[in-house]
Amino acid sequence: MDTRFRVETPEGIELAFSVAGAVPRGLAFLVDVSIRSVIYTVSALAFFLWLGEAATGPTLLVVFATEWFYPVVFEVLWRGQTPGKAGLGLRVVHMDGTPIRLPASLLRNLLIAADFLPLAYGFGIVSMLCDRHFRRLGDMAAGTLVIHTRHEGLPDHVELGAAPVPPPIALDAEEEQAVVAFAERAPSLTAARADELARLAAPLGGTRKALEGIAAHLLGREGSGPGSQGSAS
């Protein structure tokens, strides 16, 4: 299942965001809960040492503000990330992919009170599991998504172990892409698996080396030795 969320930008290109599921979001939440409890403890202690008996008032105010506005402050000032979300590589964005701002952040974080019901974030979890974009109730009302910030992309320059060779038969666009994709992924596969996959392309030679040679040709690589062409990153 493709869980990516596609947005068309005004520049006419389509961006695909990977939406984060309940597990990384839950872990980020746990990190934030721990940080919040540290804030409570430290502020209670500091106020007590400073003010003694009169510490109750300021402590209650800090607890109240942290409880409701900790995520708002971080999300608005830090481009959609609380410390927990930053640690897990998550970010809150509007449904059009732009960074979250105060109104949406306030809404989604006030509505956490509804996600919390009936107990232990029951509605929030059910909502995330049912929704195609893993949104909790607060996200739906605020029009926000939680996305992964890390792109585990492939390198855009691969070392090919073969000199460019034209393909022995004519390839259509899809087949050309498959050959290039194989060459890109081969370094991350075990040798046995790479050979096994290469055998599927018997008409093209059926070996990894043969496919890499064709890929080099398709990429337009010049020269004759492995890696002789300078980096084009």
Footprint of another protein (CB under 8 A): 9, 11-13, 15-17, 53-54, 56-61, 63-64, 67-68, 76-77, 79, 93, 96-99, 101-103, 106-107, 110-114, 117, 123, 137, 140-143, 151, 153-158, 173-174, 176-177, 180-181, 184, 218-222, 229, 232-233
Rg (CA), the chain: 26
Burial (CB < 10 A; 0-12, 13-18, 19+), residue 4, is: middle
Tokens of 39: 């804030």
> 45 vs 61, which CB is nearer to another protein?
61
Task: List residues bridging with 92 in a β-sheet.
Answer: 146
Give me the least distance between CB of 99 and another protein, in Å please.
4
> 17 vs 134, which CB is nearer to another protein?
17
Determine phi and psi for 128, rounding to 5 degrees.
-65, -40
Give me the least distance between CB of 208 and another protein, in Å please.
17
Give me the least distance between CB of 76 and another protein, in Å please.
5
> 57 vs 226, which CB is nearer to another protein?
57
CA atoms of 204 and 33, how far apart (whole Å): 56
> 153 vs 169, which CB is nearer to another protein?
153
Tokens of 125: 């979890």
> 59 vs 82, which CB is nearer to another protein?
59
Plot region of 14 (φ>0 → left; ψ -120 to 50 → alpha; else → beta): beta
> 22 vs 110, which CB is nearer to another protein?
110
Give me the least distance between CB of 101 and another protein, in Å please.
6
End-to-end, the C-alpha distance of the chain in Å comes to 32
Give me the least distance between CB of 20 and another protein, in Å please.
15
Give me the least distance between CB of 109 and another protein, in Å please.
10
CA atoms of 116 and 227, how far apart (whole Å): 57
Closest CA to 162 of 109, 223, 89: 223
Tokens of 81: 């990330």
